[in-house]
């Protein structure tokens, strides 16, 4: 009688595990969630066992193992709470504190934007004080869907949010705040291969003429992007001390580079004529600092200032909206590859993480193979 009484008491706190077959095969059971005092389902997928007969044997054995633990008083939610009592808002703060110490400024800005959006949604749904160890994939899916309805995500933005959530919860796993990453099962959307916009030589001449008349210094900002394939964030962090005036070399420091690897870039002679004039400035000065003149100064200019000035030019010349400042880098990469510069060298110059990324630019079948390296002209 005593055993029956215990079993009856336990059944109030859980429902035994059972196997479900279909397009998705899984084992599920229910336990009382101490944060809500209500039964909550736990689902364990078993589709990774490919052969149906083996999958069923595996699922049955899993049900038995789970039920034995449940009848002994085990509760996975209480176990998670004992392992960690970090709330979602605490977790977000801890994540940002950690990332702010080691990440690039642009990365920190991105993380902060994602975190603010996620935090505001949690507050709106009254989930901010829930223990992060108790968060399910379904909650993250609701966050994505709600934010998508509000902001009308592109597929690429949806995927960026998925990547952020994966990074965030993977960090929590590494710190043992949670046992597993609930963002693993988030579904990314299909994005078509993006062939970057290439700005034709005729339009580049118009752009050069516009800046030559109004802001000559900006021309060298464009040259760094087009010919040396530097990113806007790398350009605004370039210091006078990063220029080797004797050997005509620009150093992109590892702490500035997107992929954290130092690069040495050979500066063409015609560009070096301008940069040699900067040797009289203090070494710690930023090469492009003044937001109006783009001349050297002690304070770093925001990379958004580059795109703002570019937009001003584009609007006045009535050029297409897909002519972005970053299109200069895309144009440079494409023209180098079409001229026969080996993709491995272009990859190193562009600081791409993989050769596959560089070779996406090789999309013209009639590319000339002339093995000529000094091919770019504004």
* CATH for 230: 1.10.443.10
The confidence score (pLDDT) of residue 344 equals 82
Q: Which of 36, 58, 83 is the last residue of a domain?
A: 83
Helix (H) / strand (E) containing 30: strand 26-33
Number of neighbours of residue 258 by Cβ within 10 angstroms: 15
**240 lies in the same domain as 109:** no
Q: Report if residue 364 sits inside a domain.
A: no
pLDDT, tens digit (0-9, with 9 covering 90-100), for 16-62:
999 999 888 999 999 988 777 789 999 998 988 889 999 999 999 99
Domain extent, residue 149, equals 88-185
Non-local CB neighbours of 189 within 8 Å, separated by 6+ positions: 155, 158, 159
Q: How far apart are CA 207 and CA 168, in angstroms?
A: 41
Clarify whether residues 160 and 268 are in a common domain: no
Shared domain check, 129 and 50: no
CA–CA separation, 19 and 26 (whole Å): 6
Question: According to the model, what pLDDT value does residue 3 have?
Answer: 39
Confidence (pLDDT) at 5: 37
Q: Do 107 and 58 belong to one domain?
A: no
Q: How many domains does the chain have?
A: 3
For residues 247 and 249, what is the distance between their CA atoms, to the nearest angstrom? 6
Closest CA to 186 of 239, 148, 216: 148
Residues 77 and 102 in one domain: no
The residue ranges of the chain whose pLDDT is under 50 are 1-10, 363-373
Residues 108 and 177 in one domain: yes
CATH code of 107's domain: 1.10.150.130
The Cα–Cα gap between 207 and 264 comes to 28
Residue 254, in any domain of the structure: yes
pLDDT at position 153 is 86
Does an H or E element contain 28, and which?
strand 26-33
Single residue among 185, 219, 252 that ends a domain in this structure = 185
Which pLDDT value is given to residue 364?
39
pLDDT at 375: 53
| Assigned domain for 191 exists | no
- Residue 333: which of 364, 359, 294 has the closest Cα? 359
């Amino acid at each position: 009688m005593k055993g029956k009484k215990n079993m009856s008491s336990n059944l109030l706190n859980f429902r035994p595990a059972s196997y479900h077959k279909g397009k998705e095969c899984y084992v599920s059971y229910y336990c009382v969630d101490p944060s809500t005092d209500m039964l909550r389902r736990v689902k364990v997928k078993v589709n990774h066992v490919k052969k149906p007969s083996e999958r069923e044997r595996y699922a049955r054995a899993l049900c038995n193992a789970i039920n034995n633990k449940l009848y002994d008083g085990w509760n996975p939610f209480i176990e998670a709470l004992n392992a960690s009592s970090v709330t979602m808002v605490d977790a977000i703060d801890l994540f940002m504190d950690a990332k702010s110490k080691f990440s690039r400024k642009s990365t920190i800005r991105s993380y902060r934007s994602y975190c603010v959006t996620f935090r505001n949604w949690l507050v709106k749904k009254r989930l901010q004080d829930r223990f992060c160890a108790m968060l399910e994939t379904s909650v993250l899916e609701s966050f994505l869907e709600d934010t998508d309805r509000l902001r009308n995500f592109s597929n690429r933005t949806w995927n960026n949010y998925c990547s952020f959530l994966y990074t965030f919860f993977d960090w929590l796993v590494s710190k043992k705040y949670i046992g597993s990453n609930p963002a693993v099962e988030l579904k990314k959307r299909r994005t078509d291969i993006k062939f970057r916009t290439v700005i034709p030589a005729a339009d580049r001449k118009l752009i050069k003429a516009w800046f030559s008349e109004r802001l000559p210094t900006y021309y060298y900002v464009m040259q760094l992007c087009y010919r040396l394939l530097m990113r806007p964030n790398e350009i605004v962090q370039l210091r006078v001390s990063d220029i080797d005036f004797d050997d005509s070399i620009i150093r992109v420091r590892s702490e500035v580079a997107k992929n954290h690897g130092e690069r040495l870039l050979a500066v063409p002679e015609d560009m070096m004529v301008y940069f040699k004039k900067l040797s009289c400035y203090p070494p710690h000065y930023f090469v492009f600092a003044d937001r109006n003149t783009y001349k050297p100064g002690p304070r770093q200019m925001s990379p958004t200032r580059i795109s703002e000035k570019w937009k001003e030019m584009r609007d006045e010349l009535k050029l297409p909206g897909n002519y972005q400042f970053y299109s200069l880098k895309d144009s440079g990469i494409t023209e180098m590859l079409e001229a026969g510069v080996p993709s491995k060298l272009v990859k190193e110059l562009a600081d791409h993480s993989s050769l596959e990324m560089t070779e996406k630019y090789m999309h013209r079948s009639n590319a000339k193979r002339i093995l000529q390296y000094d091919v770019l002209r504004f």
